[in-house]
Amino acid sequence: MSPVEAEPRTARQHLKQVLESRAFSRSEQISRFLRFIVERHLEGRDDELKESIIGIEVFGRKPDYDPKHDPIVRTEARRLRARLTEYYEGEGKGDPLVIELPKGGYVPLIRTPRHGQTSTLPDPLGAPGHGSVGSSRAPRAC
């Protein structure tokens, strides 16, 4: 099996581990959000990771959902970032992969921890995409 084929499988195994953790198992909505963005990313469907699509697909908003009038996706993205930080600073400390949701978009970054870094805090050297799994596209600003 080539390394390219193994990477999405490894990322999905890690996603499963994260979702089964205490930090995520208690929140169905946040878990559904994380699963949606990671799966779409691994399928190469980053173009579908838009606020309007997430609002409809993840949060059950109607097809005429207008993110300008309902901030559910932005609100839940902040909660998801906080929950990921909580996970990697606690239960997920030492995990071989880190899932991040960079601010300004909904495309996750799945990477190996940087030299002893175990949280989702920004990299002080600003090296986006280093050691990432999946698409190499940069996060899209919303």
pTM to 2 decimals?
0.79
5 has pLDDT over 50: no
**89 pLDDT higher than 50:** yes
Helix (H) / strand (E) element for 109: namely strand 109-111
Mean pLDDT throughout 53-71? Answer: 96
DSSP-assigned states of every residue in 33-67: HHHHHHHHHHTT-GGG--HHHHHHHTT---TT--T
d(CA 22, CA 11) in angstroms, rounded, equals: 19
- Determine phi and psi for 55, rounding to 5 degrees: -55, -40
Mean pLDDT of the region 70-94: 97
Cα distance between residue 109 and residue 62, in whole Å:
28
More confident residue, 61 or 128: 61
Closest CA to 34 of 123, 122, 110, 128: 110
Tokens describing residue 42: 């691994």
8 Å CB contact between 79 and 30: yes
Position 80 pLDDT exceeds 90: yes
pLDDT class of 2 with cuts at 50, 70, 90: very low
> How many whole angstroms separate alpha carbon 63 and alpha carbon 74?
18
Query: pLDDT tens digit string along 38-50?
Result: 999 999 999 999 9
Report DSSP state, residue 142: -
Summarize pLDDT for 98-132 with one digit per residue, the tens.
Answer: 999 999 999 999 999 875 554 444 443 333 444 55
